[in-house]
Amino acid sequence: MDERERQIRLRLRDDFPHYAARCMKIRTKSGAVEPLILNQAQLYLHQRLEAQRVETGRVRALVLKGRQQGISTYLGARFYHRVTHSRGLRCFILTHEQEATNNLFGMVERYHEHCPALVKPETGASNAKELSFSRLDSGYAVGTAGTKAVGRSQTVQLFHGSEAAFWPNAGTHFAGVVQAIPDLPGTEIVLESTANGVGGEFHERWQQAEAGIGDYQAIFVPWFWQAEYTRPVPPGMMLDEEETEYAEAYGLTQEQMAWRRAKIAELKDPLLFCQEYPATAAEAFQMTGHDGFIAPASVVAARKLTVEGVGPLVIGADPARFGGDRFSVAWRRGRKVEKVESRSKLSVVEGANWLKTIIDRDKPARIFIDVGGLGAGTVDILHSWGGDYESLVTPINFGGAPQESDIVLDGGETAPGPRNRRAEMWMRSRDWLNEIGGADIPDRDSLQADACTPAYSYDINQRLLLESKEAMRKRGVRSPDEWDAVALTFAEPVYEPVWKRKRTAPIPGWVA
């Protein structure tokens, strides 16, 4: 091997996008066999996985995406590249149905068939479920999730779980084949899927990853990254109000909106479009069988808007109630939620010390803390320190009576209001999102998921009831801790101290 050939081989080994474009062939949607040039979604996924591999030495990822965005194509290519450039690596692909298994394995066989002789490994055993490379002692195997024990006996370093939200016997597979991959450097587990409603193993694990709990990173791929998801604009096409807001929120072209309109007409259900072709991770899980209290469009608009935060800094803190909950804190100044942070597995003392650090550093005008769960002890510790820790920290009981039991309608009439303090604060946060001038919140899917997931109902007196955390947990949805923290910033009006005011009119904490 001369130096030129050596350099070529090294680049093909170390630069996967370069290798894919020169050594791999795919069958496109039009039926043609062409080189694999990574699209925007595939390049984004590659960058995220590589960053995690460099940082931790291994890959653990959950990928939520729309239909036909090339994610399985990328993962098949990534793992073929790895097993053909390493010794002793085994890859296992688990799909949700036999047809998908056949298609993915056929794709890998096409990669091998068209691989240039310079880098093509010698083939050993080859059948409908396995492709091995004898000299490298590496290879591929596939299985279908319908069989409970599939993959349990495999010795695997690379695992691709395809359409994991649709696996039959999902709990068994997560406890079996997924757990069989050793927790060692160089190993990779990537579980990808379109959404399949709330609940289930994939959704529960997505919520954990999105909240930063555990080793898996949550990676979302929106539908509008696909260049082919466009169509010519029909003559005279005009966007309605909902379409205009959607296009502005995501910066979409008329051609993309024409494609979206046609696809919704084909599916005959706008919510099904959100599930199959989501623009955000929270939108993907909207097929929940209930209406959320806060509309996703309101949250999307706030994610995209940038405004100046004017007024006192108000902090809401929602300590964990149960083992899987997060301790979440939100910082809001007028129309702007400046940030939201969450931590897990904090003791009462650790939580109190975190809030003490925040008070010392950020000097809020007020900090409201839910006293359910660990909150009461957290408040007691802060109050015991006296001074600002006693005067600024205000305990809030989510289940307590609302400040205003009736609401005033536009015409001046009154109507039954919220049933309890939590419903009241969520109502205020919803109205704040919809105020003229808008609101500004962090552009995060996890925050949108928390805001939009809780359902609502009315009691016999027509007072608003927000779905409890316990009820959400029973239907497989995580506690909305981050939006609870945001809602807590609306517990009471908060004004700047007189000596800090820059104008004579008081500035309420929830008004810009």
CATH code, domain with 363 = 3.30.420.240
| 178 and 245 fall within a common domain | no
Indicate whether 244 and 156 sit together in one domain.
Answer: no
Name the token pair of 271: 């919510």
Task: Indicate whether 112 and 210 sit together in one domain.
Answer: yes
pLDDT for residue 233 is more than 70:
yes
pLDDT tens per residue, range 197-227: 766 788 888 988 988 888 999 999 999 999 9
Does residue 485 share a domain with residue 410?
Answer: yes
Confidence of residue 128 (pLDDT cuts 50, 70, 90): low
Same domain, 198 and 319: no
Residue 396 to residue 368: CA distance in whole angstroms? 6
Domain check: are 185 and 275 in the same one?
no
What are the φ/ψ torsions at residue 465 (nearest 5 degrees)? -120, 125
- Helix or strand or coil: residue 266? helix
Which residue did the predictor score with more confidence, 200 or 375? 375
Q: 481-488 vs 421-433: helix axis angle to the nearest 10?
A: 90
325 and 468 part of one domain: yes
Does position 512 have pLDDT exceeding 50, yes or no? no
Task: Point out the domain boundary residue: 270, 288, 306.
Answer: 288
**97 and 162 inside one domain:** yes
> What's the structural domain count of the chain?
3
> End of a domain among 178, 197, 221?
221
391's CB contacts (< 8 A; 6+ apart) are: none
- Arithmetic mean of pLDDT, 109-132: 82
**C-alpha–C-alpha distance, residues 209 and 120, integer Å:** 37
Residue 487: Cβ within 10 Å count: 32
Does residue 444 sit within a domain? yes
pLDDT tens per residue across span 46-68? 999 999 999 999 999 999 999 88
Pair (50, 164) in one structural domain: yes
Indicate whether 355 belongs to any domain: yes
Nearest CA-CA partner of 39 in 222, 251, 166, 196: 222
pLDDT average, residue stretch 78-90: 91
458 and 491 in a single domain? The answer is yes
Lowest mean pLDDT among 180-194, 347-361, 378-392, 441-455: 441-455
Q: What is the pLDDT of residue 127?
A: 67
Domain-terminating residue out of 240, 261, 288: 288
Same domain, 343 and 440: yes
Average pLDDT of the chain to the nearest whole number: 87
Flag whether 509 is in a domain: no
Instruction: Please indicate, yes or no, if residue 131 is contained in any of the structural domains.
Output: yes
Whether residues 420 and 461 share a domain: the answer is yes
Query: What is the extent of the structural domain holding 187?
Result: 3-221
